[in-house]
Amino acid sequence: MGNDFVLEALATAYQRDIFVVLVGCGKMFFLPHRPRGEVGLEQSTICHLKGHAPWFLLMRLTGSDRGGDHYEPMLCERLRGDGSPEFGSIGD
Contact 35, 11 (CB under 8 A): yes
**Mean pLDDT, rounded, for 68-82:** 63
pTM above 0.75, yes or no: no
**Mean pLDDT, rounded, for 64-81:** 62
Whole-number pLDDT of residue 23: 84
Residue, of 66 and 31, whose pLDDT is higher: 31
Spell out the residues 6+ positions from residue 74 whose beta carbon is closer than 8 angstroms to its own.
21, 56, 57, 58
pLDDT tens track for 4-52: 888 898 888 888 888 888 888 788 888 888 888 745 455 545 555 555 7
Please report, for the chain, the start and end positions of each structural domain, with discontinuous segments joined by +.
1-26+33-55
